[in-house]
Chain A
Amino acid sequence: MTNPLLLFWYRMFSDDRPARRRPARWRVPLASRRQPSATIFLVMRRMRAPLIVLIAIFAISTVGLTLIPGQDLEGRPWRMGFFDAFYVMSYTASTIGFGEIPYPFTYNQRMWVTISIYLTVVGWAYAIGSLLALVQERSFRQALSLQHFTRKVQRLNEPFLIIAGYGRTGELLAGSLDALGRRFVVIDRDDERIDDLYTDSFHADIPGLAADAGDPGHLAIAGLDHPHCEGVLALTDDDETNLAVIQTAALLRPELPTIARAVSPTVSERMRAFGTPTVVNPFDRFGDHLRIALRAPASYQLMTWLESGPGAPLPPRGSPPSHGHWVMCGYGRFGREVTEDLRAEGLDVAIIESRDVTDHQPDAIIGSGYDPTVLAAAGIDEAVGFVAGTDNDTTNLSLVIAARKANPKVFVAARQNKAASASLFAAIDVDSLLVPADVVAHEVYAQLSAPLMWRFLQEVPLRDDAWAAGVIDRLMELCGEHLQSLWKVRLTPTEAPALQGWLGTGQARLGDLLRNPDEREERLHTVALLLARSGQIEVAPSDDFLLQRDDELLLVGWPSARRLLDTTLLVDATRAYVVSGRYVPSSWIWRRLSRRAA
C-alpha cells in the first residue's frame, strides 16, 4: 500500500471493517483529583525553602571570607578572592575539610570560618533532611506509584479487564484469569490488598491501584478509555460502589461488557437500568444451586466441577433430602432467597430469626437458633434439613453444632462469611457450604473463560440427572478426577485448514476427529462438551455426530490432547491418517508420486 493513489482509493471507498468503527461517545474525562502529577513539581515545590536557605548561607559565608583581611606567607596583607573563598566554603560546608589554603588563616578569618561551619552544616542538614523526608512521605510515594500505574496501564497492548475490588472474590478470579493468560488491572480501596497483589505470584505483571473504584477518574486512570479494555468487573463488597462502577462504565463505554456483584435486589434493578450488565447475586445463585441440587444431584455436581476451573477435583455428589421439613436460621437477604427457593421446591420451611420479621413471615419464630427450646419449637426433631444462614460465622458454627445435637441425621447447609473461617467450616464438615465470594468468582469465571462454557452451564439444569451422571462418567473415564483445560476449536478455513475437504463430504463424524494421530485406535483424552452451529447448540454431542464447516466445539481434556488435535486440524497427512487410517506422504513431491503410482 505504498502507492498514495491506492491508499487514497482505499481510504475513500473501501468499507471500514466493523472492528475499526467505534460508536461515537464522550471521551472519558481524565480529570481527577489524583491525576498523575508530575512528581518532579512536588519535589521542586517542597525544596524551595531548604534550597534558598542553603544558597543564602553559602553566599554570606563566601562573601564574608573575601571581605576579612588575611595575610600571605611573608605577612603582607592579602585578601582572599571569590574563587578561593568559594572553594574553601564548599569543602568546609560538605565537612570534607582540606585545611587552610592558599595561606594559613589569620584569627579573624578563623573566627568567620568557625561561624560559617556551623551555618553551612545546618543548611546542608536541612536540605538533605527535607529531601529524605519528602521521599519518605506518603503523598509523594502515592504520586510516584500512581505515575507508575498509569504508565503500566498505558503500555498494555493486549486486551485486558478492569477488576474493581480485590477481596476474596477478586483474588480467586485473578488467579484463574491469570492461569488462562488473560490480562487485567486491579483497583481496590485498601492499600494492603494492593500490596498483596504485588506479592501474589502471577504470570503477568498486574498493575494495581489503591483508590476508590467508585470515582470515574480512577476508572479512567485504570484504563476505561483504553482501546484494549474489554470489560469491567465490579466485585467490591459494597453494592453502592459496584453500582457506581457499572454506571461509569455504561455511560462512558456503553459497548463494554460489565459484570457486577450485588446482594440487594434493589441495587440489581438499578444496575440493569444501565445497559446490560450481568449481575451476580451470590445468595440468589446459592438458592438456585440448592434447588438444582435437590432435584438433580449429578447436574449440580457437574456444574460445580466445571465452574471451579482447571485442576479442580471432582466434588462429592451431595444428596440433600428433597422431601420433608427444613429449618432456616437467619432471615436476612440470604435467608429470604433460600427460603423462597426451598418453598418453590415444595418443601416446608420453619424460620428462626433473632429480629422481629413477623410482618414478612408471620410464622417466623423469634429467638436464637442455638437455644434448644427454640430449635425444638421449629421442629428440629422431625426436620430433614437445616440451614445456618446468619451473617456471623461464630453464630453459624454454634447453630450447626446445636442442630446436630438436637437431630444427628439432619442435612446441614451453612453460610461462611469470612475467608479466615474456612478451616473451621471444613473441620465441622457441613453437607453444603455457601461461600459468597467463591460463588461470585466461579460464576464470573465461567462467563469470562469461555462463552460456550457459559451456555453449556445454562443447559445443564434443563437436562435430567441421569444425563449429567453420564457426562461425568465420560469425563472421569477420559480425563481423570481433576478437571483438565478447556478450549474452543472453530472448524473454519483459518483454524482448521486440513479439515475443510473432509467436512464438505458430510461424513465427518466427531468420533473420527477425536482419534489419536499417533495411534488412531486410541481416543484422544478429550470430551466435546458443546457444539455451536450458527446460533444452534448441541450439548455433549455423541461420537456419531456429523460435523460441518464453521462449527464451534468446546472441548475439555488433557493439554497434550489439545496439541495432538491441533496437528490434526492443521496437517493434511495427519488428518488423512486419523480419519481414514491411510498413510499419506506429507511432502508435495511424494504426494504427487504416490498419486501417480496409485
Chain B
Amino acid sequence: MNLEKVVFGFFVLLAATLNFGFFIGDIGDPELHNSYELYAAVVVNLIATVLKFGDRTQIGAVHLATSLVADLQLIAAALVWGYASYVSTEGLTREATASVVSLSGGALMANIVSVVLLVVETISFHRR
C-alpha cells in the first residue's frame, strides 16, 4: 500500500463529497446550504490541488487542470457569498444563494471528472 496514493485519493474524494454535500438541496434556499461546508470544500480543494503539483505525466496534467477549475469555481462561489452577506444591502437573498450554489455545482462537475480520472488511473495501473 502506498501512503501517498491513500492521501491523494482521500483528498480528491473528500473534495468531491464536500462539494456535493454543499450543492445538494433546493438551489435558492439559504437554509439548506451550510457556509461551513462551502468553507471546507474550498480548503480541501486547495489541498487537493497542491497534492497534484509537479506530476509531469499527461494524466497528472489533466488532474491539475480539473482541480484548478474546481478551485476557481469554489472561490468564485465564496466571493459571491461574502459579497452577499457583508457588502450587499439586501443580504443573502434567494438569487445570491442560487448563484453561489450553481457555481459550486460547476465545481462539482470538475470534481467528478477528477474522481473519474482517479478511478481510470487506478484501473489502468499495472504493476510492472
Contact = CB atoms under 8 A, between A and B. Distances in A.
Report the interface size class on chain A.
Answer: 20 to 34
Given A52-B47, A55-B47, A56-B47, A82 B39 contact: yes
Contacts of A82: 35, 39, 78, 82
Given A55-B47, A56-B47, A63-B39, A45 B54 contact: yes
A347 interface: no
A51 interface: yes
B86 A48 contact: no
B86 A81 contact: yes
Contact of B53 (A38, A44, A56, A81): A44
Contacts of A450: none
Given A55-B47, A59-B43, A63-B36, A81 B85 contact: yes
Contact of B56 (A41, A62, A66): A41
Interface string B9-21: 0000000000000
Contacts of B47: 52, 55-56
Contacts of A62: 39
A83 interface: yes
B109 interface: no
A70 to B, nearest CB: 16
A48 B46 contact: no
Interface in A3-51: 38, 41-42, 44-48, 51
Contact of A47 (B39, B53, B78): B53
Contacts of A58: 43
A52 B10 CA distance: 14
- Most chain A CB within a 10 A radius of its CB, from B53, B85, B86: B53
Interface residues of B, number: 15
Nearest to A43: B54
Contacts of B46: 55
B50 interface: yes
Given A52-B47, A56-B47, A63-B39, A83 B53 contact: no
Contacts of B51: 48, 52
Interface in B70-94: 78, 82, 85-86
A48 B50 contact: yes
Nearest to A81: B85
A82 B82 CA distance: 8
A55 B43 contact: yes
Nearest to B50: A51
A83 B35 CA distance: 11
Contact of A44 (B36, B54, B82): B54
Contacts of B82: 82-83
A332 B50 CA distance: 63
A41 B54 contact: yes
B86 A83 contact: yes
Given A41-B56, A63-B36, A63-B39, A83 B85 contact: yes
Interface in A362-410: none
- Most chain B CB within a 10 A radius of its CB, from A38, A55, A56: A55
A45 B53 contact: yes
A72 to B, nearest CB: 15
A527 B82 CA distance: 86
A82 B56 CA distance: 36
A450 B78 CA distance: 72
B37 to A, nearest CB: 12
Interface string A135-174: 0000000000000000000000000000000000000000
Interface string B32-56: 0001100100010011001101101
Contacts of A81: 85-86
Contacts of B35: 82
B54 A42 contact: yes
- Most chain B CB within a 10 A radius of its CB, from A44, A46, A56: A44
Nearest to A38: B56
Nearest to B35: A82
A248 to B, nearest CB: 27
A43 to B, nearest CB: 8
B121 to A, nearest CB: 18
Contacts of B43: 55-56, 58-59
A398 B82 CA distance: 87
B40 to A, nearest CB: 8
Contacts of A55: 43, 46-47, 50
A81 B39 CA distance: 11
Contacts of A51: 50, 53
Contacts of A59: 39, 43
Contacts of B56: 38, 41
A351 B126 CA distance: 70
A82 B47 CA distance: 19
Nearest to B54: A45
A129 B78 CA distance: 30
A47 B50 CA distance: 8
Nearest to A58: B43
A177 to B, nearest CB: 39
Interface string A350-367: 000000000000000000
Contacts of B54: 41-42, 44-46, 48
Interface in A65-94: 66, 81-84
A52 B56 CA distance: 19
Contacts of A48: 50-51, 53-54
A417 B81 CA distance: 78
Contacts of B78: 82
A63 B42 CA distance: 12
26 contacts: A41-B54, A42-B54, A45-B53, A46-B54, A47-B50, A47-B53, A48-B50, A48-B51, A48-B53, A48-B54, A51-B53, A52-B50, A52-B51, A55-B43, A56-B43, A56-B47, A58-B43, A62-B39, A63-B36, A63-B39, A81-B85, A81-B86, A82-B35, A82-B82, A83-B82, A83-B85
Interface of A: 38, 41-42, 44-48, 51-52, 55-56, 58-59, 62-63, 66, 81-84
Interface of B: 35-36, 39, 43, 46-47, 50-51, 53-54, 56, 78, 82, 85-86
Given A44-B53, A55-B50, A83-B86, 10 more contacts: A41-B54, A41-B56, A47-B53, A51-B53, A55-B43, A55-B47, A62-B39, A81-B85, A82-B82, A83-B82
Enumerate the 3 nearest inter-chain pairs by beta-carbon distance, A residue then B residue, closest first: A45-B54, A44-B53, A59-B43
